[in-house]
Amino acid sequence: MMLRLTCLAVAGLLCSAPAAAQTTFTPRDESPEEFAAGPGRDEAFYACTACHGFKLVAQQGLTRAQWEDSINLMVRRHNMPPLEGKDRETVLNYLEAAYPPRAPARGGWQNPFAK
Ligand code: HEC
């Protein structure tokens, strides 16, 4: 009896997890205006929010080469339609300018507990 319940629970998890992931984000939750202004913002926003929130993108701070890798990864691993030519250029220019690697906090690492 216990065993059967456990199996049901596991099956339920397997079935419900992907569905839940899909309903947590809808593009309407965000709009391009919420993010750093700059040429290419709309293009980047719509290219990336086909699958996930732009916050996930905006919270990164990467070099251009790392943004390249990031896009390549989306194409390779997640079946993003390849972003090429001028579109790729536009999106990369925006990401590079708007979300560069963050400078380390002034004064270096601070132990949050040492107050
Ligand atoms: C076809 C779907 C799809 C598109 C389009 C897409 N992504 Fe993603 N992306 C994903 C999925 C799925 C994840 C979930 C995390 C993972 O497994 O990498 C993700 C995760 C990420 C992450 C987080 C990775 C990490 O290591 O935490 C970044 C950054 C990212 N995407 C950047 C982008 C950028 C930039 C674009 C637009 C140029 C984009 N994505 C467009 C599917 C997509």
pLDDT in tens, the chain (115 residues): 555 555 445 555 444 444 444 456 565 689 999 999 999 999 999 999 999 999 999 999 999 999 999 999 999 999 999 999 999 999 999 999 999 998 766 676 777 787 6
Q: Which domains does the chain have, with CATH numbers?
A: 25-98 (1.10.760.10)
How far is C-alpha 73 from the geometric centre of its chain's CA atoms?
A: 12
Structure tokens at 55: 């916050």
Structure tokens at 59: 């919270």
- The whole model's pTM is what? 0.75
Cα torsion through 86, 34, 62, 114, rounded to 10: 180
Q: Give alpha helix (H) positions in 36-108.
A: 41-48, 54-58, 64-78, 85-98
Ligand 1, residues at Cβ distance < 6 Å = 47-48, 50-52, 56-57, 60, 70-71, 74, 78-80, 91
Place of tokens 């079935």: 15
Name which residue sits closest to atom 6 of ligand 1, judged by CA.
48
Which atom of ligand 1 is closest in space to residue 73's alpha carbon?
18
